[in-house]
Amino acid sequence: MNPVAAFPYVYFLGIGGIGMSALARWFQANGHQVSGYDRTATPLTEALAAEGIAVHYADAVENIPAAVRENAPQTLVVLTPAIPAGHQEWAWLREKGYDIRKRSQVLGLLTQGQRTIAVAGTHGKTTTSSMLAHLLHHAGVDCSAFLGGISVNLGSNLLLPAGRGGTTAQSRSTTIVEQTGSAAISNDSGTTTEKVVVPPTPVVVEADEYDRSFLTLFPDVAIVTSTDADHLDIYGTQEALIESFRQFAGQIKPGGTLLLNHTADARVAAAVPAGVQVIHYGLEATPEANLYAANVTAHGHEFRFDVHSPLGNLTDLQLTVPGFHNVENMLGAIFAAQLEGVPAHKIAAAVAAYRGVKRRFEFIVTTKNKVYVDDYAHHPREIEAFLRSLRALYPQKRLRVIFQPHLFTRTRDFAPGFAQSLSLADEVVLLDIYPARELPLEGVTSELILSQITAPKKSLQTREQAVRAVATDDDFDVLATVGAGDIDQLVPQLQTILTSRWHETQA
């Protein structure tokens, strides 16, 4: 029995989060009555409302739906760590004895008994998990996926298996009686003709290291894309972060597989249980790497490459979502797809059809001579990978970057790294820090980064000033908006301005 089946009502505190909304959609598709609170309306919360999920934005107990208030024993409350300690609804739900669980705990419950492929890493996990979900879905593998971003191909952050109300990977000509073990297959006349073993439907999960959330998962296959220092407000030191990744790797099921990026801490691999296969992967052939790319070249927006894999090599793959880091992410996704039995020709077709994740190297405006790209990068390593890839695509072009730092603690901990990576641009515009769940820290402002940037031109601007500057001065060939806060709200404005201005110029 599904461990959450006892809860006909599910209430979300922070329903607009990308991971929370995927869970909300899952419960809605599986027949639960779903509702929730979030601080502000966004396109994502509006999409949930359009799908029949009740969402409100004022923190007040009377706004909780009556069905939830009147049925405490039958209600599951799902909580995001972003909800502040003084939240009125949360306090009332605690006082009334509701079953309140973190998002990660619920995700752990939903993946129990399933073949789980978990993608972890301080950066790269959203792209890699979306790539894998797409490869399996495009190849006709019946699967589900909980993603930390909106897949362009799927149009959602949730993929459901066939017959569960979601996107259908393929139509079936047979009737599956049981999901696992021996199952009867009925022919058109309804007569049982044979017994077969039906493999469990795989589920792709983005495994978040924040707050040690991924330790609720026990995967069959784990991909670790990176273990760079991050979330030091939670971990304190990088050593503590590495130890958490080691625990995660230690939870891989017997006979499973760990795919470890060559940049990740090697100690993670030493923690896997006996019998777990370890695959090291990266862009280049090294003594450690047994999965790597070769002949990586850029052709316009497209990257082409070969794959050397223990499960079979692939040649001349075409990836239309650019970036050396995206080629590396695709390596992990390809090997995981090979583990699921996807043949080479289907992998090649799926790679060519992949269109990325919203706000990951997303081309917003493209003309003959100028380009505007938006990206979610919010860690120095991510920014460096993004800007180096832009430079490879557009050598000798003048690059302006508008960056919004995310979190006071992250700015404090990594200001020199941010400055170094942003200095790859010709011009850097810094916005104020997006606080998210944090309160301000004394002395921590965007000036910490600005003072160390060595780009030829740099400035600290408000959001309004940055938009106005683009409208009045387009002395650049490539514009990039970068960050994980609410900088995405500027994208439609900048798109309108640049589409009008650049198209008029070329008319």
Q: Does pLDDT of 48 surpass 60?
A: yes
Q: At which of 53, 78, 109 does a domain end?
A: 109
Are 155 and 82 contained in the same domain? no
Are 341 and 366 contained in the same domain? no
Candidates 274, 210, 281; CA nearest to 245 is 210
Does 317 fall in a domain?
A: yes
What whole-number distance in Å separates Cα of residue 75 and Cα of residue 78?
10
Q: Angle at CA 484, nearest 5°, toward 483 and 487?
A: 65
What are the DSSP calls for 48-60, one per residue? HHHTT-EEE-S--
Confidence of residue 503 (pLDDT cuts 50, 70, 90): confident
Q: At which of 324, 353, 382 does a domain end?
A: 353
What pLDDT score was predicted for residue 164?
A: 54
Q: Is 191 annotated as a binding residue?
A: no
Mean pLDDT value of segment 21-35: 96
Task: Map tokens 């223990």 to a residue.
Answer: 310
Does 3 fall in a domain?
A: no
Q: State pLDDT tens for residues 80-113.
A: 988 888 999 999 999 999 999 999 899 999 998 8
| Centroid of chain to Cα 2 | 26
Most trustworthy range by pLDDT among 115-124, 182-191, 416-425: 416-425
Mean pLDDT value of segment 127-145: 96
CATH code of 494's domain: 3.90.190.20
What pLDDT score was predicted for residue 81?
A: 83
- Say if CB 138 and CB 166 are below 8 A apart: no
Q: Is 378 annotated as a binding residue?
A: no
Does 1 fall in a domain?
A: no
Partnered with residue 13 across adjacent β-strands are 37, 79
Are 491 and 380 contained in the same domain? yes
Are 105 and 215 contained in the same domain? no
Does 161 fall in a domain?
A: yes
Domain count of the fold of the chain: 3
Q: Angle at CA 291, nearest 5°, toward 285 and 296?
A: 60
Residue numbers of the domain that contains 381: 362-506
**Mean pLDDT for the chain overall:** 89
What pLDDT score was predicted for residue 431?
A: 98
Are 184 and 299 contained in the same domain? yes
Please tell me the least confidently modeled range out of 9-23, 162-176, 293-307.
Answer: 162-176
Tokens of 47: 């999409």
What pLDDT score was predicted for residue 373?
A: 96
Phi, psi of 135 (to 5 degrees): -60, -45
Are 377 and 416 contained in the same domain? yes
Q: Is 123 annotated as a binding residue?
A: yes
Report the SS3 class of residue 268: helix
What whole-number distance in Å separates Cα of residue 48 and Cα of residue 34?
10
Q: At which of 78, 109, 140 does a domain end?
A: 109
Amino acid letter for position 222 = A
What pLDDT score was predicted for residue 197?
A: 45
Mean pLDDT value of segment 45-70: 96
pTM here?
A: 0.82
Q: What is the DSSP letter of 257?
A: E
Q: State pLDDT tens for residues 187-218.
A: 333 444 344 444 578 999 999 887 788 899 99
Does 144 fall in a domain?
A: yes
What pLDDT score was predicted for residue 43?
A: 86
Q: State pLDDT tens for residues 284-341.
A: 888 888 999 999 998 878 899 999 999 999 999 999 998 888 999 999 999 999 999 9
Are 344 and 391 contained in the same domain? no
What pLDDT score was predicted for residue 481?
A: 98
- Say if CB 401 and CB 394 are below 8 A apart: no
Confidence of residue 360 (pLDDT cuts 50, 70, 90): confident
Partnered with residue 223 across adjacent β-strands are 119, 259
Are 292 and 431 contained in the same domain? no
Convert 148-175 to b/e letters by CB count within 10 Å (16 or more is b).
bbbbbbbebbbbbbbeeebbebeeeeee
Tokens of 126: 């959203």
What pLDDT score was predicted for residue 501?
A: 86
Q: Is 332 annotated as a binding residue?
A: no
Helical residues (DSSP H) of 188-294, grouped into ranges: 232-235, 238-249
Does 4 fall in a domain?
A: no
Tokens of 399: 């690059």
Query: CB burial class (10 A; 0-12, 13-18, 19+) of residue 333?
Result: buried
Does 98 fall in a domain?
A: yes
Q: Does pLDDT of 178 surpass 80?
A: no
Are 89 and 218 contained in the same domain? no
Q: Which residue has the higher pLDDT, 346 or 239?
A: 346
Q: Does pLDDT of 358 surpass 50?
A: yes
Within 13 Å and on the Cβ side, how many CA atoms surround 98?
Answer: 27
Are 300 and 375 contained in the same domain? no
Per cent of the chain over pLDDT 90 is 72
Q: State the angle between helix axes of 103-110 and 18-29 in degrees (0 to 180), rounded to the nearest 10.
A: 40
Does 246 fall in a domain?
A: yes
Q: Is 122 annotated as a binding residue?
A: yes
Q: Is 80 annotated as a binding residue?
A: no
What pLDDT score was predicted for residue 506?
A: 54
Q: Is 121 annotated as a binding residue?
A: yes
Are 195 and 340 contained in the same domain? yes
What whole-number distance in Å separates Cα of residue 465 and Cα of residue 402?
11
CATH code of 316's domain: 3.40.1190.10
Partnered with residue 357 across adjacent β-strands are 151
Are 345 and 251 contained in the same domain? yes
Candidates 90, 88, 116, 113; CA nearest to 102 is 90
Mean pLDDT value of segment 375-403: 92
What pLDDT score was predicted for residue 22?
A: 95
